[in-house]
Every structure is written in C-alpha cells, then in structure tokens.
Structure 1
Amino acid sequence: MYNLIGAGLIVIGAGLGLGNIGGKAMEGIARQPEAASKIQTAMIIIGALLEGLAFGALILGK
C-alpha cells in the first residue's frame, strides 16, 4: 500500500515540476523571443531528466 502512495506522490511531483518548467519557459520566451531556441532546448533537457527520474523512482519503488 505504501508503494502506491509513494508512486502517486512521485507522479504528482513530476507533473507539477513539468508544468512549472513549461510555464516559466513560456514566460521567458514572451520576455525575450530571440532566446526562444535556447530556452526550449534547456526546457526539453530538464523535462527529460525529470521524467527519467520519475520513471526510475516508479520502477525502483516496486
């Protein structure tokens, strides 16, 4: 049962983190459109690392 609670917290945390990353990236692009490609690249890298961490925690938590 505790594994399911932990898995739920991991998914919620990853979702909130990805939403925060996306929102802040859009704010940055709105403020400096010329830096859009750099911001998007950084956002994708951070998002991929966050998802990998969440998937790893879910797999190891079983």
Structure 2
Amino acid sequence: MSHPTCREELWNTKKLEIQNRFLRDNVNILVYFEQFQYIGDAIAREKQIKAASRGLKII
C-alpha cells in the first residue's frame, strides 16, 4: 500500500490531467469512461467501440 500523501498526490495529478483534457478538447460533460489496468486492454476496447460506431454509421 502506498503512503497516503503519495496517493493524494497521484489523485491530484490525475484530476489535473482530466481537467486539462476537458479544456483542450472543449468538453463540457463527461458521459462515460472506463479504466483498465493494462494499456493493451484499453486499446482493444477502444477499437471495439470504434468498430461498433462505424457499423452504425453504415446502416
């Protein structure tokens, strides 16, 4: 287990990253997000979502 101060610092850093992304991408509302332990799982899920949305656009 990490030290409480380290956890708080990590959380603050993550929160700042999210806020910066909202500002950069001009996002007003976060509708949905998922967290993954491994980057490969996240990439596979993103590809799955994009493939499904492409399929909906074709119809």
The TM-score bracket by the shorter chain reads 0.3 to 0.5
Bigger RCO of structures 1 and 2 (CA < 8 A, at least 6 apart) = 1
Which protein has the bigger helix share? 1
Choose 1 or 2 for highest CA Rg.
2
